[in-house]
Chain A
């Protein structure tokens, strides 16, 4: 039973560039949430996708966008990268309409913006 997978593991970009991060949810899960975790901080919610639509969004600018595919996998896109976008980007999957709310996190993508 594969857990949540993310790619790439590490990425180095320069300011102004664009980046796409990818996530495959745990088998049986249909909901994907993306989080940004700066060094020494807790994960900050970016947005959540379910049934290929953005369902909830945190306090992130429009430069952050996403997509969910029919196989439930998801992408996070960040445009016009800023130095402050350097962080660990975590994908978490869950199953909608269940009694538990558990988020299963992937290993993350470490993004460095120079």
Chain B
């Protein structure tokens, strides 16, 4: 069945450094979504990408969807302590939404 791999599993950065997490699907996706889960919280929707090669920005966050619609990335510029949490990608194939295992980001002030 469809699998979504996400790397790295953990990332620790100094405040002000950049951060990137990568997501790869075993199958072509109709869309990919990104969620953020704060410690002790629940996943919160960040963005959805639908088109091949799509790039979207939200302030310091940049999201990309690969040309083949099988991979995606989330890049955070100049991390802040408020960016702490686990970032999940979730890929929609033909039916189900499949989540990656997430990248846990910690930021040292």
| B9 nearest CB neighbor, chain A only | A40
Give the Cβ gap from B89 to chain A, nearest Cβ, in Å. 9
Q: Which residues of A pack against B, CB within 8 Å?
A: 33, 35, 40-45, 56, 58-59, 90, 100-108
Docked pose: A40 CA to B31 CA in angstroms: 24
Chain A to chain B contacts (Cβ below 8 Å), 12 pairs: A41-B101, A42-B88, A42-B101, A43-B99, A45-B96, A45-B98, A45-B99, A58-B96, A102-B33, A103-B45, A105-B43, A107-B41
User: A35 to chain B: which residues have CB within 8 Å?
Assistant: 99
User: A100 to chain B: which residues have CB within 8 Å?
Assistant: 48
CB-contact partner of A102 in B42, B45, B100, under 8 A: B45
Chain B's interface size range is 20 to 34
Q: Which residues of B pack against A, CB within 8 Å?
A: 1, 6, 31, 33, 35, 41-45, 48, 88, 90, 92, 95-102
Contact B100 A42 (CB under 8 A): yes
User: B35 to chain A: which residues have CB within 8 Å?
Assistant: 103, 105
Chain B interface helix/strand/loop/mixed: strand
| A43 nearest CB neighbor, chain B only | B99
A107-B42, A108-B42 known, 16 other contacts, Cβ within 8 Å = A40-B101, A42-B88, A43-B43, A43-B90, A43-B99, A44-B99, A45-B96, A45-B98, A56-B96, A59-B1, A101-B31, A101-B48, A102-B45, A103-B33, A105-B43, A105-B44
Chain A interface helix/strand/loop/mixed: loop
